[in-house]
Structure 1
Amino acid sequence: MKYPRMQNFINGRFTDIDSTRLLTITSPTDGRELALMPCSTAADLDAAVNAAKAAFPAWSQTPIKERVQVFFRYKYLLERDLQELAELVSEENGKTLGEAIAEIEKCIELTEFATSLPQLVTGEILEVSKGVECRTEHVPLGVVASIVPFNFPSMVPNWTIPNALTLGNCMIIKPSEKVPLSLARIAALLKEAGLPDGVFNIVNGDSEIVNAICDHPSIEAVSFVGSTKVAKLVYQRATGQLKRCLALGGAKNHLLVLPDAKPDMTAQNVVASMSGCAGQRCMAASAMVAVGQVDHIIDKICAEAGKVIPGKNLGAVINRESKEKIERYITEAEQQGARILIDGRNTVVEGKEQGSYVGPTVIDYVKPDMAVAREEIFGPVISILRTNTVDEALAIENANPYGNAAAVYTQNGSLARYIIEKANAGMIGVNIGVPVPREPFSFGGWNESKFGVGDITGKSSIEFWSKLKKTTTKWNPEAGINWMS
């Protein structure tokens, strides 16, 4: 194994996990075994929660202007170690180094937003009657938890860590059992940045720990990012224990391509959206709705897809099981009458024969009832559905149960506005295929892409990670009695 056996991070120290249930962490790029990860038990979670509870009084009472100094230093450390962090992400997740660098750069941006929180949570004060003042202030919840996925080993944890901790909470985080290495490195950086012991804790494991987090009586709030199936289960279980929960699920994002779209720009953008991070992102283009005569654009999409080379500018999917699942979707669509324009099945990268690669795949003449049109494939695959009108295209998009993102390619401003208003998704792009808002705007979809209120990043996250205290005061008895007193 390249790396030592995985440990939990509890109370500022890496600690051994006393478990006989072991999982092997394997690099998708070439099949190399990276590390062994024992699965934690409920007792390990108790230890982490107890450490967080012990740290909470001092951390929560530290002024936010002082708490945020940790994240100024953490931002510097992310910048200092950017290359090393990116290489680790690429190794354990399989994405290209360039994509991994972009992921760490996003972590830096997320941390930068957290450093602005003292200016955003100042509260309000108003003299509401003679001698009577009302004020509001954001106070932390206590011990909170974050459950994160495999597709962004560093970025998604940083959706929650800087904001939740700057707002005064203490955190338990559970990394994906497929990619636990990056979070261990993040823990070391937070320690180096001066975060007090116990404020941030990692508990490694599988579904057993997810359930234990949802059930633990001392955890006040849970965030989750993963598949819709599991997001629903987590949301129901956590809220059933009367916790706050924000659970982000999967997606089936539709790109509407109109005949007046700029062919070169559209083709480049569609291919980048469907193949970036090997299609393993909930904002990836998964279905393209061709409105009217756009064959000239589809031809260019195929030409662009031919420039995407597995092992060079296209990373691996997370494991062999995922590769096989994606290829089954493609085969089933072909058997049902769809036309495979670019076929990424049976891809093998020379020198990395044990890697898990799927080539870029373009499927035309897909029908709305086919699985490739309805289900999240999570691979570098785009399905093309054909319609005659914008309203027909919108009907397909809006029949989709998910609601993360939708996009339109057009040069017609009024049509773009019409689609923005009618599309049933939380994040909309116009001539952009991955419409992820930049900070301070928040990330979050609708429908079966999100369960809970609010968003997970940006200003919207403040309401999730804190509670509002309202105080009314009167210190001058000479003001007399009025309706407020």
Structure 2
Amino acid sequence: MPTAQEVRTLTHFIDGKMVEGTSGRYGSVYNPTTGEVIAQVPLATAEETREAIAKAQAAFPQWRDVSVAKRAEVVLKFRNLLTENIDKLIELICTESGKTIEDAKGEITRGIESVDLAIGAPHLVKGEYSVNVGGGINAYSAKYPLGVVAAISPFNFPIMVPLAQTSMAVAVGNAVILKASEKVPMTALFVSELWKKAGLPDGIWTVVNGDKDAVNELLENPAVQAISFVGSTPVAQYIYETAAKYGKRVTALGGGKNNMVVMPDADLEQVADAFIGAAYGAASQRCMALSTIMPVGEETAERLVEILKRKIDGLKVGAYTEPDTNFGPVISQQSKDTVLAAIQRGEKEGAVVVCDGRELEIVKESNGFFVGPTLFDHVKPGTEIYEQEVFGPVRNVVRVNSLEEAIQLINEHELGNGVTIFTNDGAAARKFTTEIEVGMVGVNVPIPIPVGYHNFAGFKGSRFGEGHMFGPDQARFFTKTKTISERWAAPVTNTSTFAFPSNS
């Protein structure tokens, strides 16, 4: 692990090469576990970003004209390199994000699912063909790559989200520009090396590091045809509105305030274990993390809160290098301060602190960005701690009297990313899955993230645009469809036809 004396100066990856930044502006990359600066990442200017886009645009025609089967071969080689370098990827993810080793392994595995789907691009870009639709005319549709496309990825998944956003885009023939989070750029740069080794032509994969200057150039530059974004809801809305104004295809996924409804017939020990893992894993820095648990009925709530307290008090917060660590730090000191402020607000709003993450020794004494697991009970809808997403280990208990009340509360919330119900009642589960207005729904599954070959996206303020991150919709999002009508019959008349073509 780098020490404070070994601060690296990072680069961009443009036209197949590591390229030093020229802006003179740098952001600090921290090891969240120690609080040390481990690297300086260049923040690209609009001009640097424009030049990178031009390189990608120049490289695109050659890659477009490569057969889809040959492109899939490159993606397969890339996939193999990911698995061969899994230890290096784990080291990078843990170092720059603070995740545990097991969490990093899980992230890589889920990311590779997206690569696996992209290997099947030859099947997903097949068109349709109709013979003799009328007058000896055959009609067919064909999918073509868009050109230069861009992905803007978040800090909480240094590899899974970028792979989900970009693998299919590469496989179907686009030139891809990744604007990785400036908080976790090292993993993205290493992935660039793997694409190079896999045989991807120079210019087809680009990493531009930066902040708003780089992002705005990607949103406004006419050469960029599509934008895929994952991050907070306010930024997702900005990305969508800005890019759409410039005529781009956009998928912008925002935050989530995800709920677990617990019916009285559920096994509460099982429920507590499922909730704690889904709520506090990765220090709760997941858009699909459970934020709120809704036990139905006072008896269920009393029993469940008692079990949760016992189990949460036994969690271990620490460095990924320490054995049996359940979760590590949040990403930055700013994040830690924001989470601690949210706990204070929750107390002022009248929520009851069941477990107080501020009291852990590591939170008070470490230079790392640690926050312990915090649980509020008797949280009321309408309060800030209920309404707003806390991107850190602060979770809520909202007591409800019925399944109908739980469904109503969830449907009234502005976010609709993920939700789950724990029950042994099939009728309750069916009612829940039918009536709930949320994009990803679980039944006795704590984190209902689809596998890589199903579409991933939320509803309401959790998604702007109509695309998805995982699944076959990726192939549709990153291609355009031409429909062609052709006739090769010998001419039989020299008479012009002025009527609108029809099959009459």
The answer to whether the superposition gives a TM-score over 0.5 is yes
Query: Secondary structure, in 3 states, of the residue corresponding to 1:472?
Result: strand
- Is 1:298 the counterpart of 2:305? The answer is yes
Which residue, out of 231, 240, 247, partners 1:242?
247
Q: What's the counterpart of residue 372 of structure 1?
A: 385
* 1:172 corresponds to: 177
Decide which of 227, 230, 234 is 1:222's aligned counterpart. 227
2:154 is aligned, of 149, 167, 174, to 149
TM-score (norm 2): 0.93
Task: Tell me the matched-pair count.
Answer: 485
The one-letter code matched in structure 2 to 1:45 is T
Paired position in structure 2 for 1:65? 69
For residues 167 and 458 of structure 2, the distance between their equivalents in structure 1, rounded to whole angstroms, comes to 21
What does residue 336 of structure 1 align with?
349
Do structure 1's residue 116 and structure 2's residue 120 form an aligned pair?
yes
- Give the superposed CA RMSD: 1.7
Q: What is the alpha-carbon distance in structure 1 between the residues aligned to residue 463 and residue 115 of structure 2?
A: 23
Q: For residue 314 of structure 1, what is the amino acid of its counterpart?
A: F
Q: Secondary structure at the match of 2:239?
A: helix
Q: Is the 8 A contact 1:29 1:352 kept in 2?
A: no
Aligned with 1:173: secondary structure? strand
Structure 1 unaligned blocks of 5 or more: none
- CA distance in structure 1 between the aligned counterparts of 2:235 and 2:82, rounded to whole angstroms: 31
Q: Does 1:186 align with 2:176?
A: no
Give the superposition deviation at 1:469.
0.9
For 1:308 and 1:422, how far apart are their aligned partners in 2? 35
- Structure 1 residue identity aligned to 2:313: G
Q: Specify the code of the residue in structure 1 equivalent to 2:475.
A: I
- Shifted more, 141-150 versus 320-329: the winner is 320-329
Kept in 1: contact 2:363–2:370 (CA 8 A) = no
**Pair 1:195 & 2:200 matched:** yes
Q: Is 1:422 equivalent to 2:435 in the alignment?
A: yes
Partner of 2:424: 411
Whether the 8 Å contact between 1:94 and 1:316 is mirrored in structure 2 is yes
Report the residue type matching 2:284 in the other structure.
G
- Per the alignment, in what secondary structure is the counterpart of residue 80 of structure 2? helix
Deviates more, 1:117-126 or 1:344-353: 344-353
Please state if 1:459 is matched with 2:459: no
Amino acid at match of 1:305: I
Alpha-carbon deviation of 1:304?
A: 2.1
**Which deviates the most, 349-358 or 332-341?**
349-358
Counterpart AA for 2:20:
D
Q: Which moved more, 1:93-102 or 1:343-352?
A: 343-352
- Per the TM alignment, residue 350 of structure 1 is displaced from its structure 2 partner at its CA by 9.1
**C-alpha distance after superposition, 1:108-144 (max 9, x if no partner):** 1111111011112111111123532111111000111
**Residue pair 1:113, 1:439 contacting (<8 A) in 2 also:** yes
Deviations 1:149-174 (CA, angstroms, capped at 9, x unpaired): 10001111001221001011101111
Task: Report Cα offsets for 1:175-205 as digits up to 9, x if no partner.
Answer: 1111111000000000011000000111111
Gaps of 5+ in 2: 319-324
Deviation of 1:284 after TM superposition, in Å, equals 0.4
C-alpha spacing 1:350/1:370, structure 2 compared with 1 (3 Å): closer
Report whether the alignment pairs 1:386 with 2:391.
Answer: no
Q: CA deviation at 1:373?
A: 0.7
Partner in structure 1 of residue 260 of structure 2:
255
Paired amino acid for 1:425: V
SS in 2 for 1:345: helix
Does structure 2 retain, via aligned residues, the 8 Å contact 1:346–1:358?
Answer: no
Deviation at 1:335, TM superposition (A): 2.3
Alignment of 1:155-166 (within 5 A): 155-166=160-171
**What does the per-residue CA deviation read over 1:46-99, in whole Å, with 9 as the maximum and x for residues that have no partner?**
221111111111100111000111110011011101111011101101111110
- CA drift at 1:339: 1.1
Moved over 4 A (4+): 478-482
Q: Is the Cα–Cα contact under 8 Å of residues 73 and 193 in structure 1 kept in the other structure? A: yes
* CA distance in structure 2 between the partners assigned to 1:316 and 1:141 by the alignment: 40
CA deviation vs aligned residue, 1:231-287 (integer Å, no higher than 9, x gap): 111111111111111111111111111111111211110001111111001000001
Amino acid at match of 1:147: I
Which secondary structure does the structure 2 equivalent of 1:477 belong to? Answer: coil
How far apart, CA to CA, are the structure 2 residues paired with 1:102 and 1:257?
26
Q: Which amino acid aligns with 1:243?
A: K
